[in-house]
């Protein structure tokens, strides 16, 4: 064991080290327990020091698997996910994950190797302009020019990634810097005058929110992932219950409020519930807490909450007023804002008539589907997963039909049980994200719900499940197509299914067995229920290939260009 790396935690380390040792020591100072990565030439000095560092490293089988696993770990644990990739192709393979983490506000520390300083810009072997590529898709990027800068950059990187609106920070380290020596000193205070996130909200603006509630007749809360990032779910429940306010979620906000609560309206947006969308359409006060008003939530902006005064609580001031005009802006941490809202007295309004209207919509237009014929409906599959896991599993998904059905039919009552690719909509995300989620919470049941298309983008990570014997349950919603693409071609392209159906599939069960992972292939409800029960009882990893109806569509749906009140398919 390297003596430089075994100092007591509270004993400041000030020693001459090389860059690779500095990096390892900085990760120790930040209490990093887990690293996802893939070695290569430019990061060999770092991996050599990692070899006897005692830190746990997960060798994924592709860099994209590393960064999606780190995203899943960050989403569930609340800690920053750490990734190491080599220069050139290693670095460019993480670009999708960086963009995904940036859009969904996930804290990552991504360390890339770089060719030696002297040949940067010469098209050297495995060189890529990582700074130029990643600048727009990271919260901040560093390239180390002098080894003496490395400790301060690492300290700043962790601070920036985890404060304010979370996000990914990249540190590019040339190979010669990893071997150069300098003084390691991690005790210096951070000096970032240009980066001062506003955490404490303005009390006068909070007062305006409560005054608006007192004046409103049809208020509604829209809760986003900002509530989860701030760990403000308990405060949200208190606020909604105390003020008697109905509440809708964004896709990424699912789990911040119990799905079985009487005030819960469901998910809003393109595939949201009728009650949630109509509540926002008719509201005279919309209180957005930690959501960014993306286009999948708002639909046509001309018709979004047309009669509502808008209050927007967000830690990122750039999001307030960006898409939707806001009358009451509140910049600050969602939990801090909710605590102040809950501590400030006000007259609670009488919303009896409003609740009666909302409950009427919930009763008349619930999420529903027809069970006709022998084919298993994908909605039924999600309900079976919910039943067999008692609604307590951590569920990860890619993007597409399976994602929307999981969001609609897996009723979440707890925070941080839902890991999905929201903003970027990344195929191949859900399976490696499940690996990270399982490592974050080894005692929890983790189910990766994935489509047959997305699974084939990152299925090589089955090797990681086998190696670590992680008890992730992979459920492939197999409709032999790129389901959401096929749905849009059916509805908007005159059923011209241009390359969206996948007639030839691998035998996913045999594939799992090739990795010594148990597998089941099912087609009926009873076969699937039995397979789910056996898979959940199995202590190791498992895969279930479930054949479902190919032509089933996700409804309700708001077509592009329409307002969220113009849903189709509200009744099967």
CA 79 to chain centre: 13
pLDDT at residue 5 above 50? no
pLDDT value of residue 478 = 97
The percent of residues above 70 in pLDDT, for the chain, comes to 98
pLDDT at residue 68 above 50? yes
Structural contact between residues 381 and 548, judged by C-beta atoms closer than 8 angstroms: yes
3-class SS at 571? Answer: coil
Structural contact between residues 70 and 436, judged by C-beta atoms closer than 8 angstroms: yes
188: confidence class by pLDDT, cuts 50, 70, 90: confident
Phi-psi region of 516 (alpha: psi -120 to 50; beta: other; left: phi over 0): left
How far apart are alpha carbons 440 and 77 in whole angstroms? 5
Order of strands, sheet of 56-59, starting from the edge strand that comes earlier in the sequence = 56-59, 34-37, 81-85, 108-114, 168-174, 140-143
How far apart are alpha carbons 478 and 544 in whole angstroms? 10
> Mean pLDDT across the stretch 340-363?
94
pLDDT value of residue 11 = 67
Total Cβ atoms within 10 A of residue 372: 9
Q: Which pair of structure tokens corresponds to residue 440? A: 């974050």
**Region of poorest pLDDT, from 26-40, 222-236, 336-350, 433-447:** 336-350
Phi-psi region of 75 (alpha: psi -120 to 50; beta: other; left: phi over 0): alpha
3-state helix, strand, coil in the chain (%, to 5): 40, 20, 40
Structural contact between residues 224 and 287, judged by C-beta atoms closer than 8 angstroms: no
Query: Which residues are identified as catalytic?
Result: 63, 125-126, 175, 484
Total Cβ atoms within 10 A of residue 404: 26
pLDDT tens-digit readout, 489-511? 999 999 999 999 998 999 999 99
345: confidence class by pLDDT, cuts 50, 70, 90: confident
45: confidence class by pLDDT, cuts 50, 70, 90: very high
Q: Which pair of structure tokens corresponds to residue 314? A: 């967000």
> Mean pLDDT across the stretch 351-361?
98
Total Cβ atoms within 10 A of residue 486: 24
3-class SS at 416? Answer: coil
pLDDT at residue 146 above 60? yes
Structural contact between residues 176 and 117, judged by C-beta atoms closer than 8 angstroms: yes
pLDDT tens-digit readout, 507-543? 999 999 999 999 999 999 999 999 999 999 999 999 9
pLDDT at residue 28 above 80? yes
Strands (E) located in 129-185: 140-143, 168-174, 181-185
197: confidence class by pLDDT, cuts 50, 70, 90: very high
**Which DSSP state fits 85?**
E
Phi, psi of 414 (to 5 degrees): -130, 155
Sequence length of the chain is: 572
Letter string b/e over residues 541-571, b meaning 16 or more CB atoms within 10 A of that residue's CB: bbbbbbbbbeebbbbbbbeeeebbbebebbe
Letter string b/e over residues 30-46, b meaning 16 or more CB atoms within 10 A of that residue's CB: bebebbbbbbbebbbbb
pLDDT value of residue 501 = 95
Domains of the chain: 15-184 (3.40.50.970), 203-365 (3.40.50.1220), 378-554 (3.40.50.970)
Closest CA to 563 of 216, 272, 369, 290: 272
**Which DSSP state fits 481?**
B
Structural contact between residues 434 and 475, judged by C-beta atoms closer than 8 angstroms: no
pLDDT at residue 9 above 70? no
Structural contact between residues 176 and 148, judged by C-beta atoms closer than 8 angstroms: no
pTM: 0.96
Closest CA to 244 of 335, 363, 348, 345: 348
DSSP per position, 354-366 = HHHHHHHHHHHS-
| Straight-line distance from the first to the last Cα atom of the chain, in angstroms, rounded to the nearest whole number | 64
Phi-psi region of 44 (alpha: psi -120 to 50; beta: other; left: phi over 0): alpha
List C-alpha distances in Å: 11 to 29, 153, 348: 10, 20, 53
Total Cβ atoms within 10 A of residue 334: 29
List C-alpha distances in Å: 320 to 227, 290, 328: 16, 10, 9
pLDDT tens-digit readout, 425-482? 999 999 999 999 999 999 999 999 999 999 999 999 999 999 999 999 999 999 999 9
2: confidence class by pLDDT, cuts 50, 70, 90: very low
pLDDT value of residue 10 = 57
DSSP per position, 242-275 = HHT--EEE-STTTTSS-TTSTTEEEE-STT--HH
Closest CA to 73 of 106, 30, 24, 29: 106
pLDDT value of residue 3 = 40
Strands (E) located in 127-167: 140-143
Structural contact between residues 267 and 422, judged by C-beta atoms closer than 8 angstroms: no
How far apart are alpha carbons 449 and 403 in whole angstroms? 8
Question: What is the chain's mean pLDDT, rounded?
Answer: 96
pLDDT value of residue 1 = 36
Structural contact between residues 380 and 433, judged by C-beta atoms closer than 8 angstroms: no
pLDDT at residue 250 above 50? yes
Letter string b/e over residues 308-317, b meaning 16 or more CB atoms within 10 A of that residue's CB: bbbbbbbbbb
Q: Which pair of structure tokens corresponds to residue 321? A: 């007023």
H or E element in which residue 328 lies:
strand 328-331
Q: Which pair of structure tokens corresponds to residue 542? A: 């498992």
């Amino acid at each position: 064991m390297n003596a430089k790396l075994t100092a007591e935690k509270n004993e400041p380390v000030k020693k001459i080290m090389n860059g690779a040792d500095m990096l390892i020591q900085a990760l120790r100072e930040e209490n990093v327990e887990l690293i996802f990565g893939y070695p290569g030439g430019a990061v060999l000095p770092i991996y050599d020091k990692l070899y006897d560092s005692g830190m746990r490293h997960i060798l994924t089988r592709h860099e994209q698997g590393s960064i999606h696993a780190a995203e899943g770990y960050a989403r569930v644990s609340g800690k920053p996910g750490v990734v190491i990739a080599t220069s050139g192709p290693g670095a460019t393979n993480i670009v999708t994950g960086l963009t995904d983490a940036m859009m969904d506000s996930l804290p990552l520390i991504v360390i890339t190797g770089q060719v030696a300083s002297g040949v940067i810009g010469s098209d050297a072997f495995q060189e890529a302009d990582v700074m130029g590529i990643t600048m727009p898709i990271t919260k901040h990027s560093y390239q180390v020019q002098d080894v003496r800068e490395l400790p301060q950059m690492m300290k700043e990187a962790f601070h920036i990634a985890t404060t304010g609106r979370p996000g990914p920070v990249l540190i590019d380290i040339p190979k010669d810097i990893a071997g150069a020596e300098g003084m390691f000193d991690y005790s210096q205070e951070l000096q970032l005058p240009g980066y001062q996130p506003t955490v404490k909200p303005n009390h006068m603006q909070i007062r305006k929110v409560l005054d608006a509630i007192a004046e409103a007749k049809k208020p509604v809360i829209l809760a986003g992932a900002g509530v989860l990032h701030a760990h403000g779910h308990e405060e949200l429940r208190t606020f909604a219950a105390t003020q008697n306010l109905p509440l809708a979620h964004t896709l990424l906000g699912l789990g911040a409020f119990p799905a079985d609560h009487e005030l819960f309206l469901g998910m809003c947006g393109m595939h949201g519930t009728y009650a949630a969308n109509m509540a926002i359409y008719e509201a005279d006060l919309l209180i957005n807490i930690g959501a960014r008003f993306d286009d999948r939530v708002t639909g046509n902006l001309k018709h979004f909450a047309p009669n509502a005064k808008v209050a927007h609580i967000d830690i990122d001031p750039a999001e307030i007023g960006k898409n939707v005009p806001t009358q009451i802006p509140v910049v600050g941490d969602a939990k801090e804002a909710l605590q102040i809202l809950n501590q400030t007295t006000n007259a609670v309004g009488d919303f009896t008539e409003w609740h009666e209207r909302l409950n009427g919509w919930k009763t008349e237009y619930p999420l529903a589907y027809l069970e006709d014929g022998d084919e298993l409906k994908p909605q039924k599959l999600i309900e079976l997963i919910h039943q067999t896991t008692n609604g307590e599993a951590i569920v990860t998904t890619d993007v597409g039909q399976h994602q929307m059905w999981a969001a609609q039919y897996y009723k979440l009552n707890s925070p941080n049980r839902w890991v999905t690719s929201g903003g970027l909509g990344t195929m191949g995300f859900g399976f490696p994200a499940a690996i990270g989620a399982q490592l974050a919470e080894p005692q929890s049941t983790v189910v990766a719900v994935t489509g047959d298309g997305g699974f084939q983008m990152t299925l090589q990570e089955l090797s990681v499940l086998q190696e670590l014997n992680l008890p992730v349950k992979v459920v492939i919603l197999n409709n032999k197509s790129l389901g959401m693409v096929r749905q849009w071609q059916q509805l908007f392209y005159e059923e011209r299914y241009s390359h969206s159906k996948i007639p030839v599939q691998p035998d996913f069960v045999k594939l799992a067995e090739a990795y010594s992972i148990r597998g089941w292939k099912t087609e009926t409800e009873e076969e699937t229920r039995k397979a789910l029960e056996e898979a959940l009882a199995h202590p190791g990893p498992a895969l279930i290939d479930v054949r479902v109806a190919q032509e089933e569509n996700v409804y309700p749906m708001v077509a592009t260009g329409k307002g969220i009140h113009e849903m189709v398919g509200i009744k099967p």
